[in-house]
Amino acid sequence: MTKDSIAESVQNDLRYLQLLARSFPTIADASTEIINLEAILNLPKGTEHFLSDLHGEDQAFSHVLRNASGAVKRKVNEIFSNTLRESEKKELCSLIYYPEDKLELIKSQEQDLEDWYQVTLNQLVRVCRNVSSKYTRSKVRKALPKEFSYIIQELLHESSVEPNKSAYVDQIICTIISTGRADDFIIAMCNLIQRLTIDLLHIIGDIYDRGPGAHLIMDILCDYHNFDIQWGNHDILWMGAASGNLVSIANVIRMCLRFGNMATLEDGYGINLLPLATFAMEAYENDPCALFMPKTKFADNVLDEKTTRLIAQMHKAITIIQFKLEGEIIRRRPEFEMDDRMLLHHIDLKRGVVQIDGKEYTLKDINWPTLDPKDPYRLSIEEEDLIRKILHSFESSEKMKKHMRCFFRHGGMYQVCNSNLLFHASIPMNPDGTFKSVRILGQDYKGRALLDRVDQLIRTAYFKTGEQEEVEYAHDYIWYLWGGKDSPLFDKSKMATFERAFIEEAETHKEEKGAYYTLREQEEICDKILEEFGVTGMHRHIINGHVPVRSNQGENPIKANGKMLVIDGGFSRPYHMETGIAGYTLVYHSRGFQLVQHEPFESRAKAIEEGLDIKSTTIVVELSSHRQMVKDTDKGSDLQSQIKDLEKLLYAYRNGMIKEKERMEK
First to last CA, the chain: 38
Cα 583 from Cα 572, distance rounded (Å):
8
CB proximity list for 306: less than 8 A, separation 6 or greater: none
Contact (Cβ atoms closer than 8 angstroms) between residue 361 and residue 508:
yes
Task: List the beta bridge partners of residue 564.
Answer: 542, 559
Share of the chain above pLDDT 70, in %: 94
Cα 81 from Cα 65, distance rounded (Å):
23
The single-letter DSSP state of residue 426 is: -
Lowest mean pLDDT among 17-31, 375-389, 515-529, 557-571: 557-571
Lowest mean pLDDT among 184-188, 225-229, 584-588: 584-588
Cα 617 from Cα 652, distance rounded (Å):
55
Residue 522 has a CB neighbour count (10 Å cut-off) of: 16
The single-letter DSSP state of residue 1 is: -
The single-letter DSSP state of residue 159 is: -
Q: What is the C-alpha R_g of the chain?
A: 29
Most confident of 119-123, 180-184, 317-321: 317-321
Cα–Cα nearest to 478, from 388, 381, 407: 407
Contact (Cβ atoms closer than 8 angstroms) between residue 242 and residue 274:
no
pLDDT of residue 577: 63
H or E element at residue 66? helix 58-67
pLDDT of residue 581: 55
Lowest mean pLDDT among 374-378, 451-455, 513-517, 577-581: 577-581
β-pairing verdict for 48-51 and 584-589: antiparallel
Cα 479 from Cα 473, distance rounded (Å):
10
- Cα→Cα distances 338→221, 485, 495, Å: 36, 8, 10
HEC secondary structure over 447-493: HHHHHHHHHHHHHHHHHCCCCHHHHHHHHHHHHHHHHCCCCCCCCEC
Cα 417 from Cα 541, distance rounded (Å):
10
pLDDT of residue 513: 94
Task: List the beta bridge partners of residue 359.
Answer: 356
The single-letter DSSP state of residue 206 is: -
Q: What is the full DSSP assignment across 481-536?
A: HHH-TT-TTT-BS---HHHHHHB--GGGT--PBPTHHHHTTSHHHHHHHHHHTT--
pLDDT at 302 over 80: no
Residue 552 has a CB neighbour count (10 Å cut-off) of: 13
pLDDT tens digits, one per residue of 166-220 = 788 888 888 889 999 999 999 999 999 999 999 999 999 999 998 889 999 999 9
Cα 532 from Cα 523, distance rounded (Å):
14
pLDDT of residue 280: 96
pLDDT mean over 24-30: 93
Q: What one-letter code names the amino acid at 96?
A: I
pLDDT at 665 over 50: no
pLDDT of residue 666: 41
Chain centroid, CA 325 distance in Å: 29
The single-letter DSSP state of residue 587 is: E
H or E element at residue 175? helix 166-178
CB proximity list for 436: less than 8 A, separation 6 or greater: 428, 429, 430, 446, 486, 514, 515
Domain residue extents for the chain:
3-43+632-654, 48-204+545-628, 230-410+440-510
pLDDT at 379 over 60: yes
Contact (Cβ atoms closer than 8 angstroms) between residue 184 and residue 176:
no
323 by DSSP, 3-state: which?
helix
User: Residue 653 phi/psi, 5° resolution?
Assistant: -65, -50
Q: What one-letter code names the amino acid at 539?
A: H
Work out the pLDDT band at 592, boundaries 50, 70, 90: confident
pLDDT of residue 616: 66
pLDDT tens digits, one per residue of 405-460 = 999 999 999 999 999 999 999 999 999 999 999 999 999 999 999 999 999 999 99
User: Residue 566 phi/psi, 5° resolution?
Assistant: -105, 110
CB proximity list for 489: less than 8 A, separation 6 or greater: 231, 232, 233, 236, 424, 425, 426, 481, 482
pLDDT of residue 312: 95
Rounded to 10 deg, the angle between the 86-97 and 58-67 helix axes is 120
pLDDT mean over 499-528: 95
Please provide the size of the chain in residues.
Answer: 666
